[in-house]
Amino acid sequence: MAKITCRPAQVLDMKRIKEIVSLSFAEAARHPDVLDDLENETWYSTEHWVVAEADGQVVSALGLRPGVMWMSGVPVPTSTVGTVCTHPDLRARGIGRELMAFADDVMQEQGVVLSRLHTSAQRFGFYGRCGYVKAVTNQAISVFDTDLIRARTREKAEEALGDGVIRAAQARDAARMLEIYEATYARGTGRLSRNEHFFLRRIARRGKLWFWIPPRFEVVEDPAEGVVGYAAFLLEEEYKAVVELAVLPHHAPLARTLLLHVARQAQERNIHKVNVHIDEHHPLGWVVHEFPMHVQPDVFVLFLKVQDERRFVELMKPVIEERLAHFEVRLTISIAGLGDTVLGEGQEVRVVTDPRHFAALVYNGAWLAGLLGHGALLFEPETLVAHRALQLVFPDTHASRCPLDGY
């Protein structure tokens, strides 16, 4: 086989990239309209791809979505790795792994601290060999019965709206919607930064890879402040869901109003049950208790890799110190290649791990038992008291992601 050369993509590569994507992912092949428009989609333009070339022809490609991912409110420079694909005739020859290594070099040059990706179970082994480790993301869905809304809930929703209006989102709303998204989600864990172009594409109802049917975005507009919240939803035969709900914190009651608005549209279409991507841990999770919703908890596997180990530890130290302030624990974190970091005062507890599994632990402590079970993390002393201290310092962060951010 010819020598493989990995490099950033060029404009003339896009036709070949689309061809390989279509051959690699059956869903993409079923949506040629999305592929035709791929380079106009946010984070899929030429500069976001890297490719592997053999004999002058692109044979493998992957996308890089740079930005930040919030972890307990801390913006961590993160790149999502996605749409990794190799031409079917040239698989199992190490090309994909070589391209992944090149992508690491690119991300490190860009100052990326953490990289992440989503994949199918069949690909777990490949990404593990590329240095990625499992973490867990909350993927709960609540089933909303639109026929059982209490009268008092309806009244409160209508009162909150007052003289405001709910209308279809327009291009001029994109910048404001970005502000609302960040105000709603930047305090938690797992959400990715976006940009104005992303919202412009969604408002225009452009389909995208991994979310093929574009949802409808509607905004709630306050007479004094303008747009203060939005809902993204689909009421189609194949998919009935509220995909995203975001409201400025001081207008939180309008989340109730937006859900009632969606429920009324569903009833007009004779739809009685709608999935809502929300649970009680969502920033607006209080609505779960006000509407007739049945929460179906679930988890989703995310893969993480630390690109800048020392910087990641430094970014996370204040988060851990803040948690330790509530407990009398002196925690020594012993990370392979980085030495010891000692935080807090009180009962002595030592954690021994490596940078990748430390990232998985901080991202979501719900994976603590899994890390211990796989021997990826050790702690001393091995007592129930020390184990409980770890659970308190590394809690379940209820990390989440929006389906619209599939990459």
Find where tokens 């790149």 sit.
Answer: 79
Distances in whole angstroms, Cα of residue 201 to Cα of each of 20, 28, 197, 205: 24, 18, 6, 6
The two tokens of residue 164 are: 């405001």
For 108, residues 6+ apart whose C-beta sits below 8 A from its C-beta are 307, 308
pLDDT at residue 267, rounded to an integer = 96
In the numeric block, the tokens 């930005």 are attached to 67
Percentage, residues of the chain above pLDDT 90: 90
Determine what percent of the chain is predicted with pLDDT higher than 70.
100
Q: Report the amino acid identity of residue 304.
A: L
What is the arithmetic mean of pLDDT over 36-63?
A: 96
pLDDT of amino acid 1: 64
Say yes or no to pLDDT of 151 above 90.
yes
| pLDDT of 2 over the 80 cut | no
Q: How many angstroms separate the CA atoms of 38 and 19, rounded?
A: 12
Per-residue pLDDT, 140: 86
pLDDT at 398 over 80: yes
Report the pLDDT value the prediction gives residue 327, as an integer from 0 to 100.
87
pLDDT digits (tens, 9 = 90+) for 359-382: 999 999 999 999 999 999 999 999
Q: To which residue do tokens 């624990």 refer? A: 329
pLDDT of residue 379: 95
Record the tokens describing residue 245, joined without a space.
């709900």
Cα–Cα distances in angstroms (integers) from residue 101 to residues 53, 61, 80, 285, 389, in the given order:
14, 12, 14, 40, 37
Longest dimension (CA), the chain: 70
Which domains does the chain possess?
5-112 (3.40.630.30), 141-297 (3.40.630.30), 305-393 (3.30.1050.10)
On the question of pLDDT at 121 being above 80, the answer is no
pLDDT at 377: 96
